[in-house]
Amino acid sequence: MAEQDADYLEGLTKSIQIADGVDEMVALFTELKLVIKQVIGKPGDDEEKTEAKKIIDQHKLNKKLAKDNAKAEKDNAKLTASMLATSLK
């Protein structure tokens, strides 16, 4: 039992270290996004603003569609597994 407790505590310590590392990386990527905006600057004229908005909107739409597709695939996999489990009973 003591060995199992030690393994658990070691795993818990590692999971905390990983979570802290992820938090640090998120902060760094947030900072990187700000730097990118500073480097590319703001669009100059109305034509650049319009084109930039179209590109950004298309990018956001693509990300949303990809996220929605991934969720649908995950839901389908769960449904398939559930149906398979039911049919095996």
> Tens digit of pLDDT for each residue in 18-38?
999 999 999 999 999 999 989
pTM exceeds 0.75, yes or no: no
Do 55 and 20 reside in the same domain of the chain? no
Task: Quote the Cα angle for 14-32-43, to 5°.
Answer: 155
Do 34 and 11 reside in the same domain of the chain? yes
In which domain, by residue range, is 22 found? 1-41
- Supply the pLDDT for residue 86: 83
Q: How confident is the model at residue 82 (pLDDT cuts 50, 70, 90)?
A: confident
Do 36 and 49 reside in the same domain of the chain? no
Do 54 and 80 reside in the same domain of the chain? yes
Count structural domains, the chain: 2
Q: Supply 68's token pair.
A: 């929605």
Do 53 and 81 reside in the same domain of the chain? yes
Do 78 and 52 reside in the same domain of the chain? yes
Do 69 and 83 reside in the same domain of the chain? yes
Q: Supply 57's token pair.
A: 């909107």
Do 50 and 37 reside in the same domain of the chain? no
Do 32 and 72 reside in the same domain of the chain? no
